[in-house]
Chain A
Amino acid sequence: AQTVTQSQPEMSVQEAETVTLSCTYDTSESNYYLFWYKQPPSRQMILVIRQEAYKQQNATENRFSVNFQKAAKSFSLKISDSQLGDTAMYFCAFMKLPSSGGGADGLTFGKGTHLIIQP
């Protein structure tokens, strides 16, 4: 079984600052995916960024980037030039690699970090 740990229940930064959210995970799998999801007050889950474990290059999506350290089982999210609209719950999630042609067994989520961007 996999576990995902987010050690920061809440963080608060000023608008335009850079913030890093931490995530560690535990698994015996060698191939897997890692994700960061955002859940704003509407409670709609929004995919922020995805990382394939077999890729050494860190994923980047505009202002969002990750620091993936496979040996350390660490997967942090950096948000640059933070904006008021970034205020949300952020969840780190793990997915075991689906079997060829098959479906996924679902995501394992951390407990989340509540990020507040102050004006």
Chain B
Amino acid sequence: DGGITQSPKYLFRKEGQNVTLSCEQNLNHDAMYWYRQDPGQGLRLIYYSQIVNDFQKGDIAEGYSVSREKKESFPLTVTSAQKNPTAFYLCASSLRGPGANVLTFGAGSRLTVL
């Protein structure tokens, strides 16, 4: 079945450590997105990529980094510069062109900083 796989589902990190969240899709989608969800805040866009080797900052990119070396993969690194990294992170993907208005979401990754 086609879909988006996020791993790990739960992750614990000590302060000062970088951590990378994985997002893999087998939908042959061109565009991929990372969102952060906090209680009472809805979802906020961190980074997005419409094609391989290209990505753009979203609304809250500070303290995060991404890469897009393969069409299927869009990993997110939460760096030590992110002041409040504890949150739920969602990855999504979509086609370009006529199907660009439909985003498919992964199941999410919960990051807790100890």
Contacts and interface: CB of A to CB of B under 8 A. Distances in A.
B88 A106 contact: no
Contacts of A100: 97
B42 A103 contact: no
B48 A106 contact: yes
Interface in A86-119: 91, 95, 98, 100-112
Interface of B: 30-31, 33, 35, 40-45, 48, 50-51, 56, 58, 88, 90, 92, 94-97, 100-103, 105, 107-108
Given A98-B100, A101-B97, A103-B30, A45 B90 contact: yes
A107 B58 CA distance: 10
11 contacts: A47-B102, A102-B97, A102-B100, A103-B95, A103-B100, A104-B100, A105-B48, A106-B45, A106-B48, A108-B45, A111-B42
Contact of B101 (A45, A50, A101, A108): A50
Interface residues of A, number: 25
Contacts of A108: 45
Nearest to A110: B42
Contacts of B100: 98, 102-104
A104 B42 contact: no
B48 A102 contact: no
Chain A residues touching B, majority SS: loop
Contacts of A110: 42
Nearest to A9: B40
A104 B35 CA distance: 14
A110 B100 CA distance: 20
B26 to A, nearest CB: 17
Given A44-B107, A45-B90, A47-B102, A107 B43 contact: yes
Nearest to A108: B45
A104 B88 contact: no
Most B CB contacts (10 A, CB to CB) among A33, A50, A98 go to A98
Given A111-B42, A112-B42, A106 B33 contact: yes
A15 B71 CA distance: 44
Nearest to A32: B101
Contacts of A111: 40-42
